[in-house]
Amino acid sequence: MATEKAMFAGGCFWCLVKPFDKQEGIKRVLSGYSGGHKANPTYEEVCLDLTGHYEVVEIEYDPDVFPYEKIVEIFWQLIDPTDDGGQFYDRGSSYRTAIFYNSDEQKRIAEKSKAELQASGKFSKNIVTPILPAKEFYLAEEYHQNYYRKNPAHYERYAIGSGRVAFQEQHWGNKDERK
């Protein structure tokens, strides 16, 4: 079984792990940093906007079981793709959204999906999430990995308190499948 990797930035990386982690065909979801100019950044450096990195998740998946198109579809439902200043209560460059592609095929799929979402009229503002070539992935500190499992009560409060869950429910329906 050959696996592939996908990388996405959608604000706080904690909130991008659980929705993918529970899907059949997803082998692992790692929290980390990418898109910046400093090797091996720390969480503190990224949060202080010292490195240019985004908070990202790297998803390893079996494309025969869970195709990239489906991953991109879920990603759109986890973010506000019209906000270029961060996500929900999290503001700053490290919390911006982006799709990082690893191949021409991933780029084609992501661009097509973005165009379809824009044309759908689901959002009154333009879709601003960029589609960028993948850069090196740096693994985040261990305490960030699978945060929703390690700290379920705090994770739940954060997902709701940040405004993410309400936004998802308003635009996509059933919030329990995404938080």
Please list the active-site residues.
12
Within a 10 A sphere around the Cβ of 142, how many other Cβ atoms? 9
In terms of Cα–Cα distance, which of 142, 145, 60, 129 is closest to 95?
A: 129
- CA–chain centroid gap for 118, Å, is 18
In terms of Cα–Cα distance, which of 94, 10, 12 is closest to 48?
A: 94
Measure the N-to-C terminal CA separation of the chain; round to a whole number of Å. 29
